[in-house]
Amino acid sequence: MGPDRVTRTPDIRPVDDAGIGPNDITYYYSREHRLKKAGPRVRALYEDAQKPKRRFALFRSLVDTKPKAMLLTAIVIISIVILLFSILLP
């Protein structure tokens, strides 16, 4: 950065709360315009982010794959067997 280079700063004006309305502000950022130029991977990420998220469900997370469902079934069966033995054989 040499001494002959000029740094330009934006026009900064004092702000009074009563004088600025929503129509007085200019927004230069447009997400839709940016997404038109973006690649397909970026658009896919944005579309996934816009989908409503499912609520966390404990049972669904325990049985969403076959190995998890089999493990849960084994734990339940073993728990029932232990409970029955503790009741029948004091």
In a domain, 6, yes or no: no
Question: Is 64 part of a structural domain of the chain?
Answer: yes
In the numeric block, the tokens 């896919």 are attached to: 44
Task: Identify whether 71 is part of a domain.
Answer: yes
The whole domain housing 74 covers: 58-88
Query: Tokens standing for 80?
Result: 């029932």
- Quick: pLDDT tens for 15-68: 556 666 667 777 677 778 888 888 888 888 888 777 777 777 888 888 989 999
Domain-embedded: residue 47: no
What's the pLDDT at 46?
Answer: 83
Tell whether pTM > 0.75.
no
The answer to the question of residue 82 being in a domain is yes
Tell me how many domains the chain contains: 1
**Is 27 inside any structural domain?**
no
**Residue 38, C-beta contacts closer than 8 angstroms, at least 6 positions apart:** 46
